[in-house]
Chains A and B, each alone.
Chain A
């Protein structure tokens, strides 16, 4: 079956440009997460959706970062006025269920979007 799909796979942006990164989760998955992974580091949590509700955005590094999931399926991570420090791989993950015991539900990751800001 289809896994988590992210597009574009690579994105080069000039400093100051806005970018939009797309995530298509596995159909029926309630939870959706965005992570940022700098070179040589583990993924860092950015934000979390349960259906269309953004329940946690504590990891977003600045107000230039914005995520949405308006219909509870596809999600978009938008970065405004990109800076060089935004260069990283942005990973999306989805899982089947959320609730008191969501840690029993594995996350399924996409292969990420590699953003390079020049």
Chain B
């Protein structure tokens, strides 16, 4: 199973870019890299996912290393509402064919006004 490593917490200032790193050195060649975030008292929320090339959407950008052993979630201009726990997740197929995501502890992002 692929494992991920993320910093426990990071701090940034409002309206500045934030780069959240993730190492996934054991990821397989066909595993997509998913990022979710969880705001206080809410369920996790999908942010972005990608396989090999960099990806952009309205929420964030995902930069994937050429060897796919690491990726970086980029919030271009953080706001106070971006304060959350961010999870980097390679999906893990399970015995029954399910592709439930396995969450670690994630990175607690703190945004200073």
A residues with a Cβ closer than 8 A to B are 4, 31, 33, 35, 41-45, 48, 50, 55-56, 58, 91, 93, 98, 102-104, 106-112
Contact = CB atoms under 8 A, between A and B. Distances in A.
Contact of A110 (B43, B87, B102): B43
Contact of B96 (A4, A42, A55): A55
Given A33-B100, A44-B103, A58 B42 contact: no
B105 A112 contact: no
A109 B43 contact: yes
Interface in B81-106: 85, 87, 91, 94-106
The 4 closest A-B pairs by CB, nearest first: A109-B43, A55-B96, A42-B103, A56-B96
26 contacts: A4-B43, A31-B98, A33-B100, A41-B105, A42-B103, A42-B104, A42-B106, A44-B103, A45-B94, A45-B101, A56-B95, A56-B100, A58-B95, A58-B96, A91-B43, A103-B31, A103-B32, A103-B91, A104-B32, A104-B49, A106-B34, A107-B44, A109-B43, A109-B45, A112-B42, A112-B43
Nearest to A33: B100
B85 to A, nearest CB: 8
A109 B84 CA distance: 15
B63 to A, nearest CB: 19
Contact of B99 (A42, A102, A108, A110): A102
A106 B42 contact: no
Contacts of B44: 43, 91, 93, 107, 109
Contacts of A103: 31-32, 34, 49, 91, 99
B101 A50 contact: no
| Most B-side CB within 10 Å, residue of A4, A42, A44, A55 | A42
A17 to B, nearest CB: 24
| Most B-side CB within 10 Å, residue of A43, A58, A98 | A43
A118 to B, nearest CB: 21
B53 to A, nearest CB: 14
A20 B109 CA distance: 34
Interface in B35-65: 36, 41-46, 49
